[in-house]
Structure 1
Amino acid sequence: MREEFDALFCNLISAMAKSSKQRTLSVYLYIPNIVGYIRIVLNCIAFALCFSNRRLFSILYFVSFVCDGLDGWFARKFNQVSTFGAVLDMVTDRVSTACLLAILSQFYSPGLVFLFLLALDIASHWLQMYSTFLSGKASHKDVKDSTNWLFKAYYGNRLFMAYCCVASEVIYLILFLLAKKQSESVIDVLADNATKISPLSFLIIFALFGWAIKQAVNVIQMKTAADMCVLYDINRKHRP
């Protein structure tokens, strides 16, 4: 009887482990997550070619960025929203943007500007994700309880957020394509090209506006998330 019970118990554990592996594998193979893997491959190829073929780099980088919108659409369309997918998406975004900003810091002066933007981007999103975890929210985009109208408008309107994000990446890609080997002033390059009557000048002005909004949101997000972490500590200390 004992042997039969042990065998039944082992079979049950084995079945549970197999079922768990199947569920884990199924999440890894979600359509939006596969899109995420494609983005990583595209970015790896793009950065491998960034100094030898700038145009191809820009195309691959921008296609990868466009896929950032597709994975979210697939997740909602096929009900395949997952925490892993959300983390994969954010990490891919932050790493790709960070690499591009690091490259731009070598082309333009002051390079510290791009390193500051890199630090702001990573810090604000990391704090936002961590504060989301502490507050028990399902998504870092859930900012309904925020009192800042710009912050709520940014995450509350997908088109507005998409415009700001695309505008930021477009500015960085334009600077990358315009960069020369010698160190140039980033302000002079943007001003010279923005004042010329051309489609490029219109694109620069249109993108700069969205870029500025996104940086303002990053500052607000970092401060709001930091306040949330502090409030969590205060509430924890006052618990009986």
Structure 2
Amino acid sequence: MSSSPAVLTRRRGSIDVVDAKVAVDLATAQTYSENVFLFVPNLIGYARIILAALSLHYMTYHPKYCTVLYCISCLLDAFDGHAARALGQSSKFGAVLDMVTDRCTTTSLLCYLTSAYPEWALGFQFLIALDFSSHYMHMNSSLVTGSKSHKQVQSDVSRLLRAYYNPTTLFIVCAGNELFYIALYLMKWVHTPLSESLGPVGFVGAYTWPELMAWVCGPICAYKNVINLVQLWKASKILVGVDLAERAKAREEEALRTKRD
């Protein structure tokens, strides 16, 4: 193998990993024409972060601004992937940036909900922990098995996860999950029943529109968290399987060395 810094690699399981120092040097020396930081999907990611930050700024005192900014930030999540594929600008940095932005944005809203609904604080804390742990474990299991994307799940590993990571299903479930949390947020601000604003509308008139949105999106949120549990369990099994395979290989190599000696 060539000793050029650009091709220096070390083996870790089934993945060729660029040496960390070489990677830092490459990122520092990248040209404008091939600057991963400035890829269009990543610029969309930065815009999402700014919008999410502004949403958090307004969260405690201006629900309209907060909701609009939060929803735009979430909707942009549907465009960065399309931009990456259309422009040939898919990147590991972009994939991680997207996931971290999603997790941090949702967690920030859940943190607010723990104060808005103190009696449900433990439940919201559990959802935060489950969301982070399942995605962290899943990302790591994807890396150690050489997958190009954490969204590529084989049906023989989990038919449920493979179906979930279908782009259409993923969008619907993630949107419904976020809308449920937004509905809980708005329920603290909107108290006018639909019957007072729209007139006679049947039994639903006794509810506010955020309450109705919560009832509609609640099952989607529940499904999303079932997916998180399955994802956590499958990722744990994959990592344990890799551990067992590596330990078996180490024992075989030790036995061969002992036999030669």
TM-score tier, shorter chain, comes to: 0.7 to 0.9
Q: Which residue of 2 aligns with 1:236?
A: 246
Q: Which residue of 1 aligns with 2:142?
A: 132
Q: Which residue of 2 aligns with 1:141?
A: 151
Q: Which residue of 2 aligns with 1:221?
A: 231
Q: Which residue of 2 aligns with 1:91?
A: 100
Q: Which residue of 2 aligns with 1:175?
A: 184
CA contact (8 A) 1:36 1:71 kept: yes
| Structure 2, unpaired ranges of 5+ | 1-24, 190-202, 254-261
Q: Which residue of 2 aligns with 1:196?
A: 204
Change (3 A) 1:179 1:233: same
Q: More helix by proportion, 1 or 2?
A: 1
Query: Hey, what's the Cα distance between the residues in 1 that align with 2:61 and 2:164?
Result: 36
**2:115 is the counterpart of 1:106:** yes
Q: Which residue of 2 aligns with 1:46?
A: 55
Select the residue among 48, 69, 94 that pairs with 2:78.
69
Q: TM-score, normalised by structure 2?
A: 0.75
Q: Please state whether the residue corresponding to 2:41 is helix, strand or coil.
A: helix
How many residue pairs were aligned?
Answer: 210
CA contact (8 A) 1:146 1:152 kept: no
Q: TM-score, normalised by structure 1?
A: 0.81
CA contact (8 A) 2:187 2:211 kept: no
Same amino acid, percent of matched pairs: 32
Q: Name the amino acid aligned to 2:204.
A: K
Query: Hey, what's the Cα distance between the residues in 2 that align with 1:18 and 1:152?
Result: 33
Query: Hey, what's the Cα distance between the residues in 2 that align with 1:222 and 1:141?
Result: 14
Q: Deviations over 1:173-215 (max 9, x none)?
A: 01101126xxxxxxxxxxxxxx735665653333122212111
Change (3 A) 1:22 1:219: same
CA contact (8 A) 2:51 2:70 kept: yes
Change (3 A) 1:150 1:66: same
CA contact (8 A) 1:32 1:80 kept: yes
CA contact (8 A) 1:55 1:177 kept: no
Q: Which has the higher contact order (CA 8 A, sep 6+)?
A: 1
CA contact (8 A) 1:168 1:208 kept: yes
| Structure 1, unpaired ranges of 5+ | 1-15, 181-194
Q: Which residue of 2 aligns with 1:205?
A: 215
Q: Which residue of 2 aligns with 1:36?
A: 45
Pairwise CA RMSD: 2.2
Query: Hey, what's the Cα distance between the residues in 2 that align with 1:236 and 1:166?
Result: 39
Q: Deviations over 1:56-104 (max 9, x none)?
A: 1011001000001111110111111000000100000000111110110
Q: Name the amino acid aligned to 2:90.
A: V
